[in-house]
Amino acid sequence: MSLVLKGGRVIDRSGERALDVEIGDDGRIAAVGIGLSGDLDLDASGCVVSAGFVDLHTHLREPGQEEAETIETGARGGSLGGYTALVAMPNTDPATDCVAVVDQVRNLGRRTTCEVIPSAAMTVGREGVDMAPMGELVDAGVGIFTDDGTGLQDPRLMRRVMEYSTGLAGRLGRRVVLAQHCEVSALSAGGFMHEGEWSSRLGIPGQPAEAEELMVMRDIALVRLTGAHMHFQHLSTASSVAMVRGAKAAGLPVTAEATTHHFTLTDAACASYDPVFKVHPPLRTDTDVAAVKEGLADGTIDAVATDHAPHAPHAKERPFDQAPPGMLGLETAFALTLGESGLDLPEVLAVLSWRPAAIAGVADRHGADVEPGAPANLCVVDPDETWTVSGAAMASRSLNTPYEGRSLRGRVRHTIRSGEAVVVDGEARR
Amino acid sequence: MSFDTAARRLSADTVAFAAGSSSLSKGESLRDTIEVVGSYGADLLVVRHPMAGTAHQIAGWTDAAVVNAGDGCHEHPTQAMLDCYTLREKRGSLDGMRIAIVGDVRHSRVARSNVLAFTALGAEVVLVGPATLIPPAVDGWPVTVAHELDPLLGDLDAVYLLRMQRERITEGLVPSMREFAADFGLTADRTSRLRDDALILHPGPTNPGVEISAEATADPRSVILDQVANGVSVRMAVLFLLLGSGRSPSGDAGPEASQPSGREPGVPQ
């Protein structure tokens, strides 16, 4: 059965043009042109047809915390957000630090509406003490390693992991990516929001920006030493962005992501004491938000990631200090990036699709140009539709969106995953 | 204890509920606990909690009136009210007073409420303590900051000592209680250098020999026991306005406490 996306504007790396897109039974684009028709036509008028989005930073919570999210519900939310691939973070229970858990995550992912790309921990149990079996994991197809949720504190072990990763490129067939959650825990411990004027006023213990910046600084130095590829997760401070800008100018193999919340919200939101605004790294100041946007504008920051971090409602019904950090992001990322990043539409698609696809090593199947023969991992977005955010209406098992009740402009109309229409007219099909 | 005494004098029934002995330690969420307490028919909850914002959060979960009796390092509003009451009782007005708040300001909910209250009533406030015990980024607060107490002593209308906790040593914020007491304690010598009309305040309980000496506590200028006595009266007034007077203190219906304050940091209201 053929499927045609009809009447839209295609935007990809080669530019923008009005085209219908026909998708064949083999899950690939069969033809592009004007006046195409298939067994099923999906209306794309007024919309943009793009390669599907790729999230470098998703917490799917399975195995271990299925009350907050499952791989199935997370992937459904991803599809509703225009994503066709999600990089699953390894802070599961048990941690994704061995081939058995990687296989479990990948197999559960196969039944869902997104490609689920397991990342694996750099250290056993994400404990920062012993190196995880990185060779075995690379042989199982893992290309991204991270202890996300915490940074790897020990600089000596970090150096070893970086050196070791450079020797695995041949087995993987491409460079191994190490992704760091930059946070020196000795400086951040006991802090629950950004340390500054608001934390002092609110009496919530803060963590200084320098807790993030010291690890960014250390890892740039270690990249210079080892030549490993370091991807900086969720950059949130002005100095972090400046240091990564400098590292790129020096030709070091570093990439970086920013989350939607770090360029749309500030620490002032914590004045409500609502733990929905508690996140790591914490919401920062207006100056930091401006620096993150500048980093996106000049390419210092390669990709927008969600750090989608579901938490069951009761977990967030606790005092700010005790509540777990994290917020939902998959279903709001496109609208927020379009509306608040300062990027124009083609750049928005770049930071959501083809740039993260290249970092994740999946550019052969995600983020490709829309042309015959390319894998049909696509989304159709309406840049003008306005809608109201509702956690209860989202696919996630959790409700912790910090944008509840906000009116956003820009919505995903259809999502195509390997040729299958998994979202049609903004509704998940399965 | 002060709230309990105030409630009993107004012939209210009270039930004390401590987290350690309750279902909170069995994994029940705070919201569940509040709903259970509410189902006993409580008209008013007096909340003291080690974490900032808890009373505000609880006010959103219950129809009962909620009084913040201290939330973490954030605020202790009735303490500020009784301190202002005590200062006005002794001096008539806070307008133009110069008040030093001395010691562990960083971790003090009393200090945060008093900065707002004293400055709102026209006093000038100076925060005094080692740099590690002054909150980060206080530039926006309507106060000045000093790291030496001695040069200020002869120029103060009131000196407000904060309770110093031993944990600050193990956290590496000050080297020792001895050094803290030597630099910032209200010793007998420093007491003698205060003006004759200066007032000495402390929220209690004191650590004799640390932030305040026995001589300072017993000095005629000390109003520490007046603070305790006034605490009961002020808390009776708070309870009466919320429950007994038949009118809302804001003049309209509805639980005022559940509204987010939305106030800017450092801007007194």
Q: Residues B108, B113, B118, B121: what is their CA dihedral angle, to the nearest 10 degrees? A: 180
Q: What is the 3-state secondary structure (H, E, C) of chain A?
A: CCEEEEEEEEEECCEEEEEEEEECCCCEEEEEECCCCCCEEEECCCCEEEECEEEEEECCCCCCCCCCCCHHHHHHHHHHCCEEEEEECCCCCCCCCCHHHHHHHHHHHHCCCCEEEECECCEHHHCCCCECCHHHHHHCCCCEEECCCCCCCCHHHHHHHHHHHHCCHHHHCCCCEEEECCCCHHHHCCCCEECCHHHHHHCCCEECHHHHHHHHHHHHHHHHHHCCEEEECCCCCHHHHHHHHHHHHCCCCEEEEEECHHHHCCHHHHHHCCHHHCCCCCCCCHHHHHHHHHHHHCCCCCEEECCECCCCHHHHCCCCCCCCCCECCCCCHHHHHHHHCCCCHHHHHHHHHHHHHHHHCCCCCCCCCCCCCCECCEEEEEEEEEEECCHHHCCCCCCCCCCCCCEEEEEEEEEEECCEEEEECCEECC
The whole-angstrom distance between residue A50's C-alpha and the CA centroid of its chain comes to 17
CB contact under 8 A, B72 and A200: no
Q: Please, which pLDDT band fits residue B167 given cuts at 50, 70 and 90?
A: confident
Is it the case that residue B152 has pLDDT exceeding 70? yes
Count Cβ–Cβ pairs < 8 Å, chain A vs chain B. Answer: 79
Which of B23, B69, B25 is CA-nearest to residue B46?
B69
CB contact under 8 A, B136 and A206: yes
- pLDDT reported for residue B267: 39
- The ipTM, to two decimals, is 0.86
Is it the case that residue B257 has pLDDT exceeding 70? no
As a whole number, the mean pLDDT across chain B is 89
Q: Which of B71, B137, B260 is closest, CB to CB, to A196?
A: B137
* CB A333 within 8 Å of CB A53: yes
Residue A80: how many other CB atoms lie within 10 Å: 23
- In A316-335, the residues whose Cβ lies within 8 Å of chain B are 317-322
Residues 6+ apart with CB under 8 A from A396: A69, A73, A74, A77, A308, A310, A328, A330, A331
CB contact under 8 A, B138 and A198: no
Is it the case that residue B141 has pLDDT exceeding 80? yes
Min mean pLDDT across A2-11, B99-108, B230-239, B250-259 is at B250-259
For residue B261, list chain A residues with Cβ-Cβ distance below 8 A: 271
Nearest-Cα distance to chain B for A91, in Å, is: 22
- pLDDT reported for residue B15: 85
- The reply to whether omega before A94 is within 30° of 0 (cis) is yes
CB contact under 8 A, B136 and A198: no
Report pLDDT digits (tens) over A35-72: 999 999 999 999 999 999 999 999 999 999 999 999 99
What residue of A is the nearest CA neighbor of B108? A203
Question: Of the residues A26, A307, A344, A382, which is catalytic?
Answer: A307
Is it the case that residue B258 has pLDDT exceeding 90? no
Q: Which of B54, B140, B262 is closest, CB to CB, to A319?
A: B54
Report pLDDT digits (tens) over B12-23: 988 887 765 555
- pLDDT reported for residue B264: 42
Q: Best mutation site among A202, A207, A210, A267 for testing chain B: the one with the most B CBs within 10 Å? A: A202
Q: Which three-class secondary structure state does DSSP give residue B226? A: helix
- pLDDT reported for residue B115: 98
Q: Which of A201, A206, A314 is closest, CB to CB, to B265?
A: A201
Does A348 or B171 have the greater pLDDT score? A348
What residue of B is the nearest CA neighbor of A202? B74
Q: Please, which pLDDT band fits residue B255 given cuts at 50, 70 and 90?
A: very low
Min mean pLDDT across A18-22, B19-23, B78-82, B145-149 is at B19-23
For residue A211, list chain B residues with Cβ-Cβ distance below 8 A: none
What residue of B is the nearest CA neighbor of A196? B137
Q: Is the pTM of this model over 0.90?
A: yes
The reply to whether A302 belongs to the active site is no
For residue B26, list chain A residues with Cβ-Cβ distance below 8 A: none
- pLDDT reported for residue B194: 98
- pLDDT reported for residue B266: 42
Q: Which of A200, A203, A320 is closest, CB to CB, to B109?
A: A203
Report pLDDT digits (tens) over A158-190: 999 999 999 999 999 999 999 999 999 999 999
Nearest-5° Cα angle at B42, B38 to B46? 100
For residue A202, list chain B residues with Cβ-Cβ distance below 8 A: 52-53, 74, 265
Residue A120: how many other CB atoms lie within 10 Å: 30
CB contact under 8 A, A199 and B136: yes
- pLDDT reported for residue B17: 78
- pLDDT reported for residue B29: 76
In which residue ranges of chain A is pLDDT below 50?
Answer: none
The percentage of residues in chain B with a pLDDT greater than 70, rounded to a whole number, is 87
* CB A257 within 8 Å of CB A233: yes
What residue of B is the nearest CA neighbor of A203? B74
- Chain B contact for A277, CB < 8 A? no
